[in-house]
Amino acid sequence: MNDKKVDKNFERLLECMARGILVGGSIGAIAGWFFMDLQRALLLGMLIGCVAGLTMKNVKDKKDAEAEK
């Protein structure tokens, strides 16, 4: 792979992970206010956000691959 494609993939990974962690942490903090310990809820939300970020990156990559065909 050329350098531009590697940079684009890495940039997309960072963007999706950051969004996932922020959204997951926010939802975890809200859950911590109502249902469980705040620290535990925030940590679990951020971990689930990482998985969601990876999923979001894979979906975007798949759409780009289909668009190239």
Q: What is the pLDDT of residues 11-62, one digit of tens each?
A: 989 999 999 999 999 999 999 999 889 999 999 999 999 999 999 999 998 9
Tell me if 7 is assigned to some domain: no
pTM reported for the whole predicted model: 0.81
Tell me if 41 is assigned to some domain: yes
pLDDT digits (tens, 9 = 90+) for 27-39: 999 999 998 899 9
Query: What letter represents residue 43's amino acid?
Result: L
Tell me if 20 is assigned to some domain: yes
Tell me if 51 is assigned to some domain: yes
Query: What is the distance between the alpha carbons of residues 24 and 11, in angstroms, rounded to a whole number?
Result: 20
Tell me if 2 is assigned to some domain: no
Query: What is the distance between the alpha carbons of residues 53 and 50, in angstroms, rounded to a whole number?
Result: 5
Tell me if 44 is assigned to some domain: yes
Tell me if 3 is assigned to some domain: no
Q: How many domains does the chain fold into?
A: 1
In Å, how far from its chain's centre is CA 56?
6
- In whole angstroms, how far apart are CA 57 and each of 33, 40, 47? 30, 26, 16
Range of the domain at 59: 15-64
